[in-house]
Structure 1
Amino acid sequence: MRMSGGRIRFRGNIQAWVMIWTALVSLLLGWPSRCVCQAPSDPAVPPIDPGTNANDVPAAVPGNVVRAGEPLAVALPGGIAEAVSRVEAYDETGKAVADAAVAENGVAVFGRGTLAPGWYQLRYKNTAGESVGSTTAAVLMPFDRPWNPDDNPIAVDLAVSWLAPEDVPDSAAGLVRLARMAGVGWVRDRLRWREIQPDPDTWAETTRYDATAELQKNSGLRVLSVFHDTPAWTRPADGSPVDLRHVYRFCAGLSRRFKGRIDAWEPWNEANAGNFGGWPIHHMCAWQKAAYMGFKDGDPAIPVCWQPIGGINTPSQAKGILEGGVASYFDIFTIHSYDWAHSFASLWSNALQAASGKPLWITEIDRGIAGGLSDPLDDLPLDRALLKAKYIPQEYALAMVNGAARVFHFIL
């Protein structure tokens, strides 16, 4: 997520994501194809209300995503607000379907029921009818059935603690709102060891990670978290590996501190990759054991995942995990996958062997698509956004067909 022209920009391309949920609903859950982008409405979970101000006037919401029957308020970027007189809505076929006048406060409001469920490109028009910019929006239908995060295999890597700018008010809440409206049950987040425990004898009293964990938990989401940094005080001057007793104590402290707010842990991320350490498999296995025992010391009931390997799990990596007896030191086996969905069956065979019958979670998954460099903010052109939207439901479905119990798309 990033800021541009006064707007919060959510990484992963909102226009593609909105169309993705449309297809996911019909493909994965068997709902009618016109039950577009359904948002959860289980009364047991706090409701997601449209933004309003003190006078009950519709306010803009992150991503311009609302539920059917709610008004859509579109706040114009500050740099062009004075030049825009109307905002026109175009559907995914490029057809103009509605417009709204811009009020003196720089907000255009599409009234209740003006926009049918679906995805829209919103074009900013000046008095001459010329387009001077655009954004995207979506209208979602409510779910027609109970929502239970623990039974829901559809998850997303939200990374709210890192992607929500601390200098943008309510940006974290905006990301969490979008995740809930998408209907996912689990999200993935991150934290930094050096910010939680800056020196051996000091734990920070409160951090952004405490705030985001509380925010996500209160929204009804389940949270998987990961760390992949070490404070300077843990690293020996001679370059030798970190003392695993530090790892044990840190993980024990994490599970005690976040008990009831974070629901599962990964003790590192892609350690075999050079930018995350470049560790050999025996180093990964030793780290895993120390972290697992620490997490369980702090909270015996907390699920602890294997630390996912970067790239395709190889036969030698699977052999190292099996011969190292590591299956007793994870509750869930996790992998990352950035390959074509039709190849999952062959590419995941070693991972499934290493999992030793434990549940398999794909905690990062995607297949990139070139944007063509036609947009300064990296948004995909419409034809490629449609292609991406058609692909991602296949990604989820084929991941589950090939053994995944939970799938986290990277990244909202």
Structure 2
Amino acid sequence: NPTSTFFEPPSGQNVAQAAPALQLPPSETFFTGANMADLGMTYLLNDMGLGWGKGYVNWGTVEPEPGEFRWVDPDNIAKAMGDQQVKILMRVHGTPAWARPQDSSYTHPPDDVADFGAFMTALAARYKGQVAAYEIWNEPNLNYEWGNMEPDPALYAEMVKTAYTAVKAVDPEALVITGGLATTGDGSETAYGDLAFLQGMYDAGIAGYFDGIGSHPYTFGRPPAEVDPWGLSLSRVQDQYDVMKANGDDDKVIWITELGWVIESKWDLGEHESISVSQTQQAEYLTEAFTTLENDLPFVQAVFLFNLDFSTVSWYPANEPMRWYAILNPDRTPRPAYTQLRQYLRNP
């Protein structure tokens, strides 16, 4: 029964066997994962043929006071994915109130990057041998992901350099990936252009302090092959790689840490309404994108689906767009994208 896994997690042996977290594939190998919300669904990563899972860790939740650690969230990620022998990409974001200006957003960068470095040291030491890669922040070129201020590529580069140094000192095998850049064209009042932001990171000395550049090349409803003149398309990763090459990093790779299409809904999805696609299109576009990235863009090392299961958790309201990027229905049955992408991944 191909749908049986949706109703009861497997017991005993895993659905499929994957390598332990730190037995990483060769640098030229393309590998795949998914952003997920319900750690109880981790076994579906194996069912799909995905070797990686992405979990989110909020620094402010884990270290609410200086040196006071509450490891529940990252412990749960490490156990759930480790039990399924899925490699872990752990995204770290969110500054504790004690480490940022009063009344600022949790997305505000820390007042002292050394505080962030100390946290990354503690995190990487605790999960040495369990977490394969760390992603530093999320879409740092968007104002609302940068404390509702104008993004600062130089300060962000300093955060990454500090995190990279901290992680490598205690776990040299763990990878450090820069936060996925939002595809923003030339920028706007609320966003810094992604290519300019990436160049700003290089100008601030980021070279040598990362293992991969994170990217979120959403197409805003377009098919994967369509090239948007403003860069709002999957092909934007080529432009980002060109910046890397121009700065002498042609041997480095891009990690697509989010990629997905939002499907049509009876709910008002706000600005996502105009870029929604049918469930059939979601399935076709995801499969086409994964195929293109694997076969035609050798500088892309990884792609993480956004998302597996945000539709199934109770903390997102029905009109939350992230629910409609999911490839599972709210009752955990598969949407067409799950079935089609699973077929591709298990039978390439």
* TM-score category (smaller protein): 0.5 to 0.7
Match of 1:297 in 2: 169
Aligned length, in residue pairs: 260
| 1:237 Cα offset (Å) | 4.1
User: How high is the sequence identity, in percent, across the aligned residues?
Assistant: 24
Q: Is the 8 A contact 2:64 2:96 kept in 1?
A: yes
Match of 2:304 in 1: 408
The structure 2 residue matched to 1:182, chosen from 44, 48, 56, is: 48
Give me the whole-angstrom Cα distance separating, in 1, the residues matched to 2:167 and 2:19. 26
Give me the whole-angstrom Cα distance separating, in 2, the residues matched to 1:365 and 1:324. 28
| 1:229 Cα offset (Å) | 0.4
Q: Is the 8 A contact 2:154 2:203 kept in 1?
A: no
The structure 2 residue matched to 1:388, chosen from 262, 282, 285, is: 282
Distance 1:388 1:346, change over 3 A: closer
The structure 1 residue matched to 2:139, chosen from 270, 276, 301, is: 270
| 1:386 Cα offset (Å) | 2.2
Distance 1:208 1:287, change over 3 A: closer
Match of 2:87 in 1: 222
Match of 1:364 in 2: 258
Q: Is the 8 A contact 2:241 2:254 kept in 1?
A: yes
Match of 1:347 in 2: 236
Match of 1:194 in 2: 60
Q: Is the 8 A contact 1:318 1:350 kept in 2?
A: no
Match of 1:326 in 2: 206
Map 1:110-129 → 2, pairs under 5 A: none
Q: Is the 8 A contact 2:218 2:234 kept in 1?
A: no
Deviations 1:334-359 (A, max 9, x none): 11111142135742233213442212
Q: Is the 8 A contact 2:58 2:94 kept in 1?
A: yes
Distance 1:314 1:61, change over 3 A: same
Give me the whole-angstrom Cα distance separating, in 2, the residues matched to 1:307 and 1:208. 20
Deviations 1:5-39 (A, max 9, x none): xxxxxxxxxxxxxxxxxxxxxxxxxxxxxxx98x9
Match of 1:157 in 2: 34
Q: Is the 8 A contact 1:311 1:337 kept in 2?
A: yes
The structure 1 residue matched to 2:112, chosen from 226, 233, 243, is: 243
SS of the equivalent of 2:242 reads helix
| 1:324 Cα offset (Å) | 2.1
Distance 1:214 1:237, change over 3 A: same
Q: Is the 8 A contact 2:18 2:85 kept in 1?
A: no
In structure 1, list runs of 5 or more residues that go unmatched. 1-35, 40-49, 52-58, 66-141, 165-171, 375-382
Give me the whole-angstrom Cα distance separating, in 1, the residues matched to 2:132 and 2:212. 12
Deviations 1:158-211 (A, max 9, x none): 33xxx23xxxxxxx33x111111111001111111122212112122x413202
Give me the whole-angstrom Cα distance separating, in 2, the residues matched to 1:373 and 1:236. 37
| 1:274 Cα offset (Å) | 2.2
SS of the equivalent of 1:335 reads strand
| 1:396 Cα offset (Å) | 0.7
SS of the equivalent of 1:348 reads helix
Give me the whole-angstrom Cα distance separating, in 2, the residues matched to 1:193 and 1:319. 27
Match of 2:75 in 1: 210
| 1:293 Cα offset (Å) | 1.2
Distance 1:193 1:238, change over 3 A: closer
SS of the equivalent of 1:202 reads coil
Deviations 1:231-268 (A, max 9, x none): 11111449795201101101111100111221100111
RMSD value, Cα: 3.2
Distance 1:261 1:148, change over 3 A: closer
| 1:147 Cα offset (Å) | 5.6
| 1:300 Cα offset (Å) | 2.2
Distance 1:315 1:216, change over 3 A: closer
Q: Is the 8 A contact 2:32 2:304 kept in 1?
A: yes
TM-score (norm. length: structure 2): 0.66
Give me the whole-angstrom Cα distance separating, in 1, the residues matched to 2:172 and 2:197. 28
Between stretches 338-347 and 184-193, larger displacement belongs to 338-347
Deviations 1:36-55 (A, max 9, x none): 98x9xxxxxxxxxx78xxxx
Distance 1:235 1:386, change over 3 A: same
